[in-house]
Amino acid sequence: MIGLLEIRRRKMQFALIALIVTLISYLVLMINGLGVGLNVLAGSALQNFDADAIAYSDGASVSVIRSELSQATVDAIGKTPGVTDSAPIGYVSANYRRADGKVNSAAFLGYDPGTIGEPKVTEGRALTAEDAGGLLADKSFLKATGLDVGDEVEITFRLERRAFTIVGEIDEGAFFFQPAVYVLRSTWDTLRYGARGDETPAASIVLLKGKGLPGKTGAGFEVVNKRTAFANIEGVSGQQSTVTSLRVFGYIIGALVIGVFFYVLTLQKIPQIGVLKAIGASNFFVFRQILLQVVGISAVGLAISVPLAMVSDAALRRLPDAVPIAFTTGTFVTTSALLLLMAIVGTAFSGRQVVKVDPIIALGQQQ
């Protein structure tokens, strides 16, 4: 109560602290958004696979680029005990031209219609077995190319050029840092390997449904869960550790700045704390007032920075070059809770100071 009254009476001083808290929490929120955004870019299409586990060829170290499975292996995977459903997926990276003229690559995923590998079409229609020249493009692909469902798009792979018709739009996100594009597995096959020979691989990976599959191995394949598959995407682990260290620094800096501010405020108030303790206030009572202030100021800071981050997110989405920042409700909740916690941790310095104040200073006989 005293702590909150003080905030009301010393608006300028506390507004300044609230501003700093706002800026720091905004920064930490954006870093967290970047973490989520980079993850989405790295492989939201993988996360979106309708699968409990994924099979890779066993020499591929869970890399979708290196993984190649023969038809025999695909069949063997499908017959593994515990597998209730399976779908082979082929992957190849091919180039397309963006609306601004730059050439970029897209992740071409070959699937068989009617299997669990089939993506959900949000606009247009799904591919049929006859759509050898058709593709399903992710929203991000359409945004980058400026094309729509029904348009033609030219794809280049090695020296080959091929025109595809965009048959439908999907919302699966990115695969391996590229917009996801789904084609028929037979189309993928000709795109990646050209003329078919006996030894040509039939798929890159196999999506699996069933319980207890991760960890299983067989002749020429191994099965991992989606989390492992995701973590093994090249670049993901480095990217995540960078984001994590930024995030940790953000929290520590937040705790330090809030801690130092309130420590200085506490130092300034030592005579008043002495009087309070002399008239019988416990250390806890005094500390509670400081905590109340810290929580109050942090809450104000978060009440400004969270909407600010939301607005920034919306603004960044409008940019033609997608900035990899994305937020989930979870990001906001956990970041806010952690920042609040760190702010409270930061007041530990002040708590020590409060305990050290000897109430006798109220009598003015000691320094």
Partner 1 sequence: MATTLAVQDLEKTYGSGEDAVRAVRHVSFETAPGEFVALVGPSGSGKTTLLAMIGGLLAPTGGRIVVNGSEVGGAAKRDLAKYRREMVGFVFQANNLLPFLTARENLLVPAALGSLDKRDANARAGRLLEELGLEKRRNALATQLSGGERQRVAIARALMNDPRLVLVDEPTASLDSARGRQVVESLIREVRARDVLGIMVTHDMAMAELADRVLEMHDGEIREHRAGKLAT
Ligand X SMILES: Nc1ncnc2c1ncn2[C@@H]1O[C@H](COP(=O)(O)OP(=O)(O)O)[C@@H](O)[C@H]1O
> Binders of partner 1 among 40-69, rule CB under 8 A?
none
- Single out the residue of 40, 265, 276, 338 in contact with partner 1 (rule: CB under 8 A): 276
318 sits in the region (left: phi over 0; alpha: psi -120 to 50; else beta) called: alpha
Residues 328-367, one symbol each (x = binds ligand X by CB under 6 A, - = not), give -------------------------------------xx-
Q: Which residue is nearest to ligand X (CB)?
A: 365
In the bound state with ligand X, the residue whose beta carbon lies nearer, of 329 and 365, is 365
In the bound state with partner 1, the residue whose beta carbon lies nearer, of 62 and 362, is 362
In the bound state with ligand X, the residue whose beta carbon lies nearer, of 114 and 271, is 271
Contact 221, 214 (CB under 8 A): no
In the bound state with partner 1, the residue whose beta carbon lies nearer, of 10 and 125, is 10
In the bound state with partner 1, the residue whose beta carbon lies nearer, of 216 and 269, is 269
Q: How far is CA 310 from the centre of its chain?
A: 15
- Single out the residue of 281, 294, 309, 339 in contact with partner 1 (rule: CB under 8 A): 281
Shortest Cβ 355–partner 1 spacing (Å): 10
Shortest Cβ 271–ligand X spacing (Å): 16
Shortest Cβ 268–ligand X spacing (Å): 23
> Binders of partner 1 among 333-362, rule CB under 8 A?
359-360, 362
23's tokens? 């800026």
Measured between its terminal Cα atoms, the distance across the chain in Å is: 28
Q: If contact means CB under 5 to 8 A according to the sort of partner, which of partner 1, ligand X, none does residue 47 touch?
A: none
Name the strand (E) or helix (H) holding 78. helix 71-78
- Dist CA 292 CA 2 (whole Å): 9
Give the residue carrying structure tokens 């399976």. 86
| DSSP assignment string, 282-304 | -HHHHHHHHHHHHHHHHHHHHHH
Shortest Cβ 20–partner 1 spacing (Å): 21
82 sits in the region (left: phi over 0; alpha: psi -120 to 50; else beta) called: left
Cα dihedral 314, 315, 320, 322 sign: negative
Shortest Cβ 275–ligand X spacing (Å): 17
In the bound state with partner 1, the residue whose beta carbon lies nearer, of 278 and 323, is 278
- Dist CA 47 CA 230 (whole Å): 7
Nearest to 202, CA basis, from 62, 124, 291, 91? 91
Binding residues for ligand X, rule CB under 6 A, total 2
Return residues touching partner 1 (CB under 8 A). Answer: 1-2, 5-6, 9-10, 271-272, 275-282, 285, 359-360, 362-365
Binding residues for ligand X (CB under 6 A): 365-366
